[in-house]
Structure 1
Amino acid sequence: MNLDLNINTITNARVLDVETGSISEPTTVMIKDERITEVGSGTATADKNALDAGGRIVSPGLIDAHVHVLAATANLGDLGDQSPYYLGAQAARLMGDMLGRGFTTVRDAGGADFGLAAAVSENLFPAPRLFFGGKALSQTGGHADMRGPGTQVLDKHLCCPNIGIVCDGADAVRKAARENLRTGADHIKIMLSGGVASPTDRVDSTQFSDDEIRAAVEEASAANRYVLGHAYTARAVNRGLELGVRSIEHGNLIDDRSIQLLLEHRAFLVPTLVTYERLKQEGAQFGLPEASQEKVDDVLYAGLDALKLANDHGVKIVYGSDLLGGMQPHQSQEFAIRARVQTSQEVLRSATTTAAELLGEEGKLGVVSPGAFADLLILDANPLDDASVLGDAHSAIHAVVKGGRLLR
């Protein structure tokens, strides 16, 4: 799989506008230096850099705002014992597969670093655009503390490919946030509650003190970045929002107060429903420890209700998958799950325009318009009729273009 043909023109393209829910008559999309220059008014060319869409739909590339590109296994505690070179190679494979599924941009929610982001930006291998945050911040015994109850030694080597770093106290949180930001991190992730993949915390626990959360928010804000918070329960979600967290990850157990705060703070909700279905069915097969398997049911069945509650009230909802290890090929199945309670247009917005807003890339990602990156999908099916068709990339996606380069 390579990105090896630069495209300057796409002809016979029926352009999908996600915001209006419309599809144009066949037209021309002009591209130069990775960006779209014109839509509809350019002169078609017949050279080798022109691509005939054949009347197919041309849509914006998709955005997944919650991935773990280093998670080659569901046993996250094992990552710190692996060679970073090995996991880097695994990440290249995983990201190449994401690109093949139509995800031209991803946001890593713990683990990916500046080196991997640099490799992607330099096109060293086919991959989506990568927004990285470095190591997620966790308290002792929190969601990114992967020690079992009998393990005392904590490996603090920043070079090792753990998904997170343990830090206790506001000063330690500040330092950890600054270390990530020093490397160019696009965001800071903190653990606001317990989770499934960690061995010693309860899903319904709250994590970090108010002062610690404020410290992370202040440091991110000072660097013109933002904080995303892992949280399941309404108690954890609401506390994070009140303290300035901008993006809530998961949120399976939110309540009416959560909705009020999400709207009041113009914050974003990033559900990750597919991961719980796959963890239930395949977690053990792909390395999820037994203690974590027992916690899946705590969040599995409430997620769809939370999504409907947020969607009915106009919360900004963004696409996320959060799959681990061998479950990552199911990334696109999130479309079908969300389509149970959202319209196809709403689901598409979550993976394009709303996701671009979260990333601070409005007008650059998630749209087919002049000035935007030429990250495009040429589709054999109309996702406005049924967004779940994107769950089968082989039948729905005819071609993927990233930055004006055709994926082969």
Structure 2
Amino acid sequence: MSQPKIFKNAVIFDGVNEELIEGGSVVVEGERIREVTDKNVNIDNAEVLDLKGKFLMPGLLDLHFHAYSISFNMAKLDSMPKPLKVSHSIKLLEGALQRGFTTVRDPGGGDVGLRLATEAGLINGPRFLYGGQALSQTGGHGDMRRHDEEEMSCGCAYSGTICQVVDGVDDVRKLVREELRKGADHIKMFISGGVASPTDPIWMPQFTDEEIRAAVYECETRRKYVVVHCHTDVGAKRSIANGVRSIDHATEILPDTAEMLAATDKTFAVPTLAVMRQILDYGPELGMYPESLEKIKPLWDQVLTSVENMHRAGAKMGMGTDLFGPQYHPLQSKEFEYRAEVQPAIDVLRSATSINAEIVQMKGAVGEISAGAYADMIVLDGNPLKDLSVFQRPEQMPLIMKGGSLIRNELH
């Protein structure tokens, strides 16, 4: 049995409660937390780490992280040799862990190979939840074929790095079953238009209710769930009605739909502000189509209003980032500041910890400091409840632990 570790003299945010535990202690044994207390703990032969009043909290979760998000130029991404894509993904995953994200959910593109490599320690990255290739209807957000390029004008179905095209209830059912057979933790569908895709307007409804329900049913047979790419308010209403669990982006949620979200315990929103700021701030250098850059312009004010509407209604919101391009992934840590424009810091922290854990069906296992949970923890030189920008400064994150293993320890 591994040597127990005691973290003492900590200011503890447990991922749930606003009230902090001052001068608290956390006992870690193996990969799990054994005890959390507001007192000092003495255990024979334990390793003691004195935090001297530093802030201890759960490891962060990012629920919209594409491990193969190497470029917004989808034609370039799709044509990359797989070993090159994997090499890039290793850097992206390891970078996320070094920023304190101990669990990520890849809603499109991530595969069992990355999961197994992480579990084997070949990738020193976060706990990895994956959905395989996301599902798009023909001409939907996941269909990256342009209508003005002859070489892509065939009627054959598109299947790329992030997503695949499928139409009809029976074929949706078959593809969902196939991804679940390959171990997917969830299934993602595109049910509204998007920015990166070249031929669909943002407002466009995608997939029929029958197709969505078929995917939801098949996921439920394996106790899994459906994630949807959805910008529109209409799409959010459809998601709630059809049993979708995770509405990602949730850009245009109106007050009445926010109230509907607050009234259900089955559907959650996962806003992704970082990717919008990335495109708005760096658009011309990202290699995106001009029509995509036009689509993004009105969305920033809309998503801030959407988040504010959901917060006022009391709807549960998780957190994701959806960034593309290795040089832009450090923006992952700015998601906290973007959300703080319309939310109190405590709710932003809950989104990135306990609420995200609930969304991915891991409540009590990750996203909180509690007995029995995985020992996924970070230590901060600073209180994020007072300054959320602390996540952007690695030098103020002296300790990162994932599953009881120290990833970084600079306390001394």
**With structure 1 as the length reference, what TM-score do the two structures score?**
0.93
| Closer, same or farther: CA 285–45 of 1 in aligned 2, 3 Å | farther
Return 5+ residue gaps in structure 2 as ranges. Answer: none
Partners of 1:155 and 1:370 lie apart in 2 by 52
Shift in Å, 1:108: 0.8
| Counterpart residue type for residue 10 of structure 1 | F
Partners of 2:175 and 2:331 lie apart in 1 by 33
> Within the alignment, does 1:317 sit opposite 2:314 as a pair?
no
Shift in Å, 1:404: 1.3
Matched position secondary structure for 1:190: strand
Partners of 1:179 and 1:74 lie apart in 2 by 27
Partners of 1:130 and 1:120 lie apart in 2 by 7
Partners of 1:6 and 1:301 lie apart in 2 by 51
- Which residue does the alignment assign to 2:232? 233
Partners of 2:182 and 2:234 lie apart in 1 by 32
The correspondence for 1:133, drawn from 131, 134, 150, is 131
| Counterpart residue type for residue 304 of structure 2 | L
Matched position secondary structure for 1:59: strand
| Closer, same or farther: CA 370–389 of 1 in aligned 2, 3 Å | same
| Counterpart residue type for residue 74 of structure 1 | F
Partners of 1:260 and 1:39 lie apart in 2 by 35
| Closer, same or farther: CA 102–141 of 1 in aligned 2, 3 Å | same
Partners of 1:82 and 1:173 lie apart in 2 by 27
Partners of 1:260 and 1:372 lie apart in 2 by 31
> Within the alignment, does 1:250 sit opposite 2:221 as a pair?
no
User: 1:36-51 maps to which residues of 2 (within 5 A)?
Assistant: 36-40=33-37, 42-43=41-42, 49-51=47-49
Give the stretch that moved more between structures: 396-405 or 26-35: 26-35
- Which residue does the alignment assign to 1:375? 376
Shift in Å, 1:284: 2.5
Partners of 1:407 and 1:395 lie apart in 2 by 14
| Counterpart residue type for residue 89 of structure 2 | A
Partners of 1:33 and 1:340 lie apart in 2 by 39
User: 1:48-87 maps to which residues of 2 (within 5 A)?
Assistant: 49-87=47-85
The correspondence for 1:106, drawn from 104, 125, 128, is 104
Matched position secondary structure for 2:285: coil
Quick one: higher RCO (CA 8 Å, sep 6+), 1 or 2?
1
Shift in Å, 1:27: 3.5
Return 5+ residue gaps in structure 1 as ranges. Answer: none
Partners of 1:334 and 1:319 lie apart in 2 by 8
User: 1:9-408 maps to which residues of 2 (within 5 A)?
Assistant: 9-40=6-37, 42-43=41-42, 49-149=47-147, 150=149, 151-153=152-154, 162-266=161-265, 267-325=267-325, 326-390=327-391, 392-408=392-408
Partners of 1:197 and 1:27 lie apart in 2 by 47
Give the stretch that moved more between structures: 144-153 or 96-105: 144-153
Partners of 1:25 and 1:244 lie apart in 2 by 41
Give the stretch that moved more between structures: 67-76 or 184-193: 67-76
Partners of 1:255 and 1:389 lie apart in 2 by 32
Aligned length: 400
Matched position secondary structure for 2:10: strand
Which deviations, in whole Å up to 9, do the C-alpha atoms of 1:72-119 show, x marking residues without a partner?
Answer: 112234322111211111111001111111111111121101111111
| Closer, same or farther: CA 289–298 of 1 in aligned 2, 3 Å | same
| Counterpart residue type for residue 343 of structure 1 | P
Shift in Å, 1:291: 2.3
Shift in Å, 1:128: 0.8
Which deviations, in whole Å up to 9, do the C-alpha atoms of 1:174-222 show, x marking residues without a partner?
Answer: 1111111001111110000010011111111010112111111111111
Shift in Å, 1:143: 0.8
**With structure 2 as the length reference, what TM-score do the two structures score?**
0.92
Shift in Å, 1:156: 6.1
Which deviations, in whole Å up to 9, do the C-alpha atoms of 1:320-369 show, x marking residues without a partner?
Answer: 11111132210111111111111111110000111111011111111111
Which deviations, in whole Å up to 9, do the C-alpha atoms of 1:250-298 show, x marking residues without a partner?
Answer: 1111223322332343210111112111101113313222221121114
Whether contact under 8 Å (2:248, 2:272) holds in the other structure is yes
